């Protein structure tokens, strides 16, 4: 009877050990896959609904008249936690970037800014991206999160 009991305890021990390994494996896999959020971003990246219309007839969007022109859109209920950067990348093409860096958690000094009219810059760690493509240049290994920006008439509609 004690031999059967020991074998039973041993069998339960093996099952528990397998269960723990399985849970650890699933946790590890989910850790590596949770870094994806539309564009690749870190898992602490704020996930916000985005819905904004930029009427290009208004004076605040005057810089979008020329290619490579950009404007900052302030943070708000439907423009993300740090706001957006809207860039004109072609005659009728626009790109909207989230101002949260994709590679570090948000902080007081992590809002992306445009430097020298040619690249996005993170003041927290000096990361840089090409303004018109979002391709990483320095520090970061992933592009900023972008949102759909479509020209309809004379209005750019940004959504996510």
**Does 99 share its domain with 136?**
yes
Q: Report the pLDDT value the prediction gives residue 32, as an integer from 0 to 100.
A: 40
With cut-offs at 50, 70 and 90, classify the pLDDT of residue 3. Answer: low
The verdict on pTM exceeding 0.85 is no
Tell me if 89 is assigned to some domain. Answer: yes
CATH code, domain with 111: 2.102.10.10
64 near 57, Cβ under 8 Å?
no
Kindly state the average pLDDT of the residues 97-114.
Answer: 94
Domain ranges, residue 8: 2-33
C-alpha torsion 55→75→141→117, nearest 10: 50
Tell me if 55 is assigned to some domain. Answer: yes
138 near 34, Cβ under 8 Å?
no
Q: Centre a 10 Å sphere on the Cβ of residue 160 and count the other Cβ atoms it contains.
A: 17
The mean predicted confidence, pLDDT, of the chain is 85
- The pair of three-digit structure tokens given for residue 139, joined into one six-digit string: 């520090």
């Amino acid at each position: 009877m004690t031999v059967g009991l020991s074998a039973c305890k041993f069998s339960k021990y093996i099952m528990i050990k397998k269960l723990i390994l399985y849970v650890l494996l699933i946790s590890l896999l989910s850790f590596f896959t949770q870094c994806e959020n539309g564009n690749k971003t870190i898992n602490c990246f704020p996930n916000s609904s985005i819905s904004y219309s930029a009427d290009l007839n208004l004076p605040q969007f005057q810089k979008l008249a020329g290619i490579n022109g950009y404007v900052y859109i302030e943070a708000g209920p439907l423009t993300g936690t740090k706001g957006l950067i809207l860039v004109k990348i072609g005659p009728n093409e626009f790109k909207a970037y989230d101002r949260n860096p994709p590679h570090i958690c948000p902080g007081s000094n992590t809002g992306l800014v445009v430097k020298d009219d040619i690249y996005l810059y993170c003041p927290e760690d000096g990361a840089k991206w090409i303004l018109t493509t979002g391709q990483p240049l320095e520090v970061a290994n992933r592009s900023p999160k972008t949102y759909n920006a479509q020209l309809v008439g004379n209005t750019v509609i940004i959504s996510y």
